[in-house]
Amino acid sequence: MMKNKKYSWLSPTLAIIFGFLLWELIAFLVKKPIIPSPSLVIYSLCTKYAAKVGLCLLASLGRVFAGVALAALGGIICAMAAVFSDKMEKTIYPIIYLLHPIPKIALLPVVLLLFGLGESPKIFLIFLICFFQFALSARDAMKAVPESNRVVFKSFGSSNLQEMWHLFLPASIPALLGGLRLSLGTAFSILFFTETFGTQIGMGAFILDAWMRVSYVEMYGGIIVLAVAGGSIFGFTDIIQKHYTHE
Amino acid sequence: MLSLTNVSFTYPNSSLPVLQNISFEVSGVCAVLGPSGCGKSTMIKLCAGILTPDAGNVLLYGKPINPKEINVGLIPQDGGLLPWLTVEENTALGQKIKHQNNKAKVSQVLERLGILALKDCYPGQISGGQKQRVTVARALCMDPSLLLMDEPFSALDANTREEAQDFLREITKHNYNITTLIVTHSVEEAAVLGTNILVMKKGRIIKILKNPLKGYNEPRRQNCFYELCDSLRCTMKDKQDVI
């Protein structure tokens, strides 16, 4: 068991190395600029435009974190309202059920017209994508808290606020992390789209700009950075969940 | 001294009363015996001050029970331990809610119950019997005036359950001042643990008796243990009138 845990990094590392070798082989066989070799992409990324891509990545991650944080806050507030009041649940959740299935990308033109081309439409769209997922998964997790836990809290004379803080919020963390994982992929895709409109700094703008200049090496560099950033966030949520659930 | 006087209770979304005109007065350890659905758990919640009776009074030493004012130790059926807290943090939960901080008391209770070595473990990492001790520790940590247990050993296997019962007898023996109410559907458990036994059926009390095994160190080995168990079983099956 200990041996397995010690070498748990080995399988994903080998998979990544295999992926890069496969890409290298395809690039060698195709011999076209549209598929540059990964070694060239990574070399150029590290030597030529690391600073620029770093700045773009920071800007994009800032937008993602702001949108996700607002969505988590909104989702938790809705879930808590639903747990403590049936009336609130019956008022809020039918609206969430109606709005959740709407593809959020369809709202992009409306959001751009309403909020302009600044930071707010990008953050708002990420908020929209993650909020419904958070509101639903947090509500379900809080409703699944065993009655016995609540009874123990009440027997100690707890207030609703103490129950929220010490019971319902911690109980919903694994579900919130699950919701985050589900919505993060879509959030990154939408971020890419929004950053292609009137944006100077951002991974979407960086990749689109490289594409327009037919700089495929740079474009692939941006894609790799975006993939690594997304993968790292997924890995980070896994680490938090493992630490939290003591697996 | 815990006293219930003409207590009745019906849940808001139901027309059927769960408890009907319950009256009794107990001190020491009282075992409440009855089949599932007879209103035992509701009675525990009423005694803990979590529910308010529709009629009648629930008093502890003559005063209404308010969990914000007095210390009530409640052990629910599944223990109610929080999986994200360590044994030590679970034990100190009552202190946290009541804005107290007495780490020495937590350590003292854990040591007394023989689980101090597990203080940094999480509930998912310890056995069923150990979890049961943690729930008792959590309740005792607050120096409760009233200890309420809702089928505390129902999830344990037969051997662990007997060990847990003996352990609880030991604990209650040294805490005379704590009025303890143990709800169970197990006749043997009621016979081993209760100094008084109260038999319930369909929301009513059908019998209250003093346990003849009170004072014996090994009640299961006494001849009258089986007689008492048979008698209690017959009472539960009887269609006799309520008292």
pLDDT tens, residue by residue, B107-143: 988 988 889 999 999 998 998 888 988 998 999 898 8
Distance, in angstroms, between B236 CA and closest chain A CA?
Answer: 27
State the pLDDT at residue B119. Answer: 93
- For residue A89, give every residue at least 6 positions away whose Cβ sits within 8 Å of its Cβ, in sequence order, or none: A81, A82, A83, A139
Tokens of B219: 């009640």
Question: Within 13 A of B36's CA, how many CA atoms are on the CB side?
Answer: 2
| CA B181 – CA B176 distance, rounded (Å) | 13
Residue B230 or residue A134, greater confidence: A134
A148, B45: Cβ pair inside 8 Å? no
pTM for the predicted model, two decimal places: 0.80
- For residue B200, give every residue at least 6 positions away whose Cβ sits within 8 Å of its Cβ, in sequence order, or none: B32, B33, B34, B38, B39, B40, B43, B206
* Residue whose pair of structure tokens reads 């008391």 in the numeric block: B105
Q: Which amino acid, B161?
A: R
Distance, in angstroms, between B17 CA and closest chain A CA?
Answer: 21
Which is nearest to A180 in space by CA: A224, A239, A131, A108? A131
Minimum-distance CB partner of A156 among B97, B124, B148: B97
- For residue A18, give every residue at least 6 positions away whose Cβ sits within 8 Å of its Cβ, in sequence order, or none: none
Confidence of residue B6 (pLDDT cuts 50, 70, 90): very high
Tokens of A154: 């009440």
Tokens of B2: 């815990």
* Residues in chain A within 8 Å Cβ distance of B93: 152, 156, 166
pLDDT 10s digits, B142-180: 888 899 999 888 777 777 778 778 877 777 777 667 888
| CA B136 – CA B118 distance, rounded (Å) | 14
Cα torsion B145, B150, B156, B158: sign:
positive
Distance, in angstroms, between B238 CA and closest chain A CA?
Answer: 32
| CA B49 – CA B57 distance, rounded (Å) | 11
- Please state the length of chain A: 247
Minimum-distance CB partner of B78 among A146, A171, A246: A146
A155, B66: Cβ pair inside 8 Å? no
B76: nearest CA partner in chain A: A148
Minimum-distance CB partner of B125 among A154, A170, A246: A246
Distance, in angstroms, between B36 CA and closest chain A CA?
Answer: 17
State the pLDDT at residue B153. Answer: 80
The chain-wide mean pLDDT, for chain B, equals 86
| CA A211 – CA B79 distance, rounded (Å) | 60
Which is nearest to A57 in space by CA: A190, A204, A212? A204
- For residue B62, give every residue at least 6 positions away whose Cβ sits within 8 Å of its Cβ, in sequence order, or none: B1, B3
- Reading chain A (247 residues) residue by residue, the pLDDT tens digits are 445 666 777 888 898 899 989 999 998 998 888 888 888 889 988 888 888 899 999 999 999 999 999 999 999 999 999 999 999 999 999 999 999 888 888 888 888 888 887 888 889 988 998 899 999 999 999 999 999 999 999 999 999 999 999 999 999 998 888 888 888 888 888 888 888 877 888 898 899 889 988 889 999 999 999 889 988 888 888 888 887 776 5
